[in-house]
Amino acid sequence: MSTAERVSTDKSPGARATWARFTRSKAFSGYLFLGPSLILTLAIMLYPLVFSLIASTEHYLLARPNERYSVGLENYLWVIQAPSFLNSVGITLLFTVVAVSLEFLLGLSFAALLNKEFRFQGIIRVIMMLPLFLTPSVVGLIFVRLYYPGDGLVMLFLNLFGVDRNFPLLASPSTALPSVILVDIWRTTPFMFLVMLAGMQSISPEIQEAASIDGASSWQILRNVTIPLLMPLILIALTIRGMDAFREFDTIMLLTGGGPGQATEVISMMAYILAFRIYDVGRASAVAWVILLLVLVFSIFFVKKLRDMQMSA
């Protein structure tokens, strides 16, 4: 009797029966179907995570691959103490709060305006959605030209109101960040609009009619009926957009490269510069993990808020 056969017969009848039952069960088929994608997901997501976690505790410069060694939490200490990190966090928070708030207000307003039957509503809604179809890098390139001093369309338009058309909007410390925020608003307001419109259309018209019969004005209906009913959707939209804005990179990189000075250097740009310009993978990974923690705190806050809301409802 071979070793394999002995091992096979050594299995207790109970275990064999359990295994046989399991292989015939729906759960087994489920695991079988899930398996490949699960392995792929783990390989794609887990490997970079573990790699960057290890790298974040190392002195690891791509330009000096033979000098790689562990430094414990030194990279994290450097990150926390670096003035450029604090500057980047401040800029990122400002960018996120201002951009997402305005996108939400605009998205909600457009949704409220277009949530009714009218002629050409389909065309107008499609036009509203167009910026969402463009990739961030394409948007960046478009706005570089639109903002170009002298002959950029935005500059020619502003010139009508007395603004010097040669003013470098993207390169002036006072206007660079607002100009970048404006681009983000243009690009992602349609997302907010889409989510709000979908939410509004799912609200039963009877509720609004009842409020209207009770004498509520349009503003009162929006404020006291529509928005409270939309609240779970609003929180989800704010969470997704908030995390998105926190990680903003492509458009800003193309528009300003983080300048002038470091006026628009958001935190993900700092990680990029460390990794691909300074080749310091250790510190770049530490920044990436700090970003992860910040995003985690942010998302936990919103998810908890949403859960509280559901509980109270």
Q: Which residues bind other proteins (CB under 8 A)?
A: 44-45, 47-49, 51-52, 55, 61-66, 68, 144, 147-150, 164, 166-173, 236, 239-240, 243, 246-247, 249, 253, 256-263, 268, 271-273, 275-279, 281, 284-285, 287-288, 291-292, 295-296, 299-300, 303, 306-307, 310
Cα 108 from Cα 193, distance rounded (Å):
6
Question: Least CB distance from residue 29 to other proteins, whole Å?
Answer: 21
Q: Which residues pair with 69 in a beta bridge?
A: 59
Q: Residue 72 to residues 48, 278, 285: CA-CA distances in angstroms?
A: 19, 20, 13
CB of 276 to other proteins, least distance (A): 5
For residue 96, the minimal CB distance to other proteins (Å) is: 12
Under a CB-based contact definition with an 8 Å cutoff, are residues 258 and 87 in contact? no
Please identify, using beta-carbon distances, which residue of 221 and 270 lies nearer to other proteins. 270
**C-beta neighbour count of 103 within 10 angstroms:** 25
Q: Between 19 and 276, name the residue whose CB sits nearer to other proteins.
A: 276
- Give whichever of 28 and 301 is closer to other proteins, judged by the CB atom: 301
Q: Residue 35 or 48: which CB sits closer to other proteins?
A: 48
Nearer to other proteins, 128 or 242 (CB): 242
* Comparison of 189 and 239: residue with beta carbon closer to other proteins: 239
CB of 160: closest distance to other proteins in angstroms?
Answer: 17
Q: How many CB atoms lie within 10 A of CB 36?
A: 9
Count of beta carbons in the 10 Å neighbourhood of residue 125: 16
Specify the amino acid at residue 43: A
For the packed helices 121-133 and 176-202, what is the interaxial angle rounded to 10 degrees?
130
Q: How far apart are CA 284 and CA 290, in angstroms?
A: 10
Minimum CB distance to other proteins, residue 55 (Å): 8
Minimum distance, C-beta of residue 212 to other proteins, in the bound complex (Å): 30
Question: Whole-number minimum distance, CB 82 to other proteins, in Å?
Answer: 10
DSSP string, 243-289: HHHHT--HHHHHHTTT-STTTT--HHHHHHHHHHTS-BHHHHHHHHH
Q: Is 141 exposed, middle or buried (0-12, 13-18, 19+ CB in 10 A)?
A: middle
How many other CB atoms sit within 10 Å of the CB of residue 207? 13
125/247 with CB nearer other proteins: 247
